[in-house]
Amino acid sequence: MRARSTVPALVALLTPLLSAQAGPVISGFVTKPGAAEYQVNAASVLCDPVTTKERVERKGEAVGNHLCPMRILGESVSVFGQKDKKAGVIHATEVEHDEITDIAVEGFALIDKVIAPPTASSGTVRADGLPLTIVPTTKLTFAQGSNLTIDRVSTNTWVRYTGTLHPDGTVTAASLLFSPNLIGSYEGKLRTKTDFDPSAVKEEDRQSSASRLFLGPKGKHIPASHNQAAQDRITAIGRKLIPAYQRNLPDSDPTKIDFRFQLVDDPKLHFTLSEPSGVIQIPESFPETLTDDSQLAAVLAGAIAEVLEKQALRAIPGNYGRSAVNLVGNAAGFLVPGLGFATSMVTAKSASIAEHHRLQQVARTSLAYMHDAGFDIAQAPTAWWRLADKKSRGLAETQMPYITQALYQTLAAAHRPSDPSN
């Protein structure tokens, strides 16, 4: 999903200014909801209904009043006032936030849930973590050469969408272009090439330092962990997160992924490795850091999303530093029959933009998987933030990674509570 509205740059949002007179004391995301007391970027903020002024940016005009509304998780705000360093709190004199309005969105993703069977004028499918609702004015088209019709559209179908995201988290689709999920020859070979038993990798298989320096970490050469309790926890959580449509596919279906979640012994590995074959490797440090199952589920859900959305096949040079698969010669994108390239890359700048789009999709889709499996989606941004705190300085002193920013944005835009007081 790509929002085509004008929003403040995230870097600017997350840069605290030293002078309360020159600018806000802190700008960023609400990381703990509340009214009289809440947190922004893990820093405590106190609001006084008598002295704190609320400013809502509405169509370029600032509307001010004195109150302390309920702040929701992920909301973007700028707080003016004074910071009490001794007490570790910010006394807000003024708080600014943008009014939540309809946002134009577009994207390309796999349908993972049918909420209401689609027809020519109604129905709702979920893709990209968003409920896409068909209305009489929605333009429906199908990939050239496919035998798809609207009554055949179901899960495991690609969709390119445009529409309007409403404050309640629903999307009214303006156009939907459907294409079947086919396994091309290159993808088939890649899945075979990246398929191995991660639990069977031993210490003697470990990659040499020279090889790792030049080629990056290779999953086939990362020894399996011997921590059986942590491995059982990883496996149980991972299996719960696999979307129902994937679990229900027959083993003979070429689009079914054989997911395997393996804890690995590699102190230098600080991210998950996700292979197109379904092998997902997780550093031993992750379950040690993420003792909350919902936080660990957020990381595993993100890895599952990478595989199902075939992000390795959409790989760009900006991904090479962290991707399990180096697709040299295939960096232009992922070709889907009838839809063309899902991602196109010609410069380093566009590669960076595409990487942000990739992480945004991981954020949206992983929240949907977590919700379906019964995990607490509010824990998702904290998980990635805690993993970024490698020096144990605390979240307030740790730079928020982009995936955490994307998750907070998604929570505020697509998962707003109908009753903010809850």
- CB 294: neighbour CB atoms within 10 A? 20
Residue with tokens 């003016």: 80
pLDDT of 350: 63
CB contact at 8 A, 294 and 370: yes
Contact assessment for residue 269 and residue 249, using Cβ atoms and an 8 Å cutoff? no
Predicted local distance difference test score (pLDDT) of residue 19:
37
Q: In this predicted structure, what is the pLDDT of residue 251?
A: 95
Q: Which residues contact 135 (CB under 8 A, 6 or more apart)?
A: 121, 122, 172, 173
Amino acid 317: pLDDT: 37
Task: State how far the Cα of 375 lies from the Cα of 369, in Å rounded to an integer.
Answer: 9
Tokens of 162: 């445009």
Query: Could you tell me which CATH class the domain 103-180 is placed in?
Result: mainly beta
Give the distance from CA 59 to its chain's centroid.
29
Q: CATH 2.40.50.140: which residues of the chain?
A: 103-180
pLDDT given for residue 156 in this prediction:
97
pLDDT of 418 = 72
- Residue 135 CA, chain-centre distance (Å), reads 27
Asked if residue 260 lies in contact with residue 356, where contact means CB atoms within 8 angstroms, the answer is: no
The model's pTM: 0.86
d(CA 406, CA 383): 13
Mean pLDDT by 10 residues, the chain (422 residues): 43 36 86 96 95 77 74 95 93 89 92 97 97 98 93 96 94 97 91 95 92 88 96 98 97 96 95 95 97 98 96 56 32 42 49 82 96 97 96 93 96 84 61
Q: What is the pLDDT of residue 246?
A: 98
Using only C-alpha atoms, the chain has a radius of gyration, in whole angstroms, of 22
What is the structure's pLDDT at 213?
83
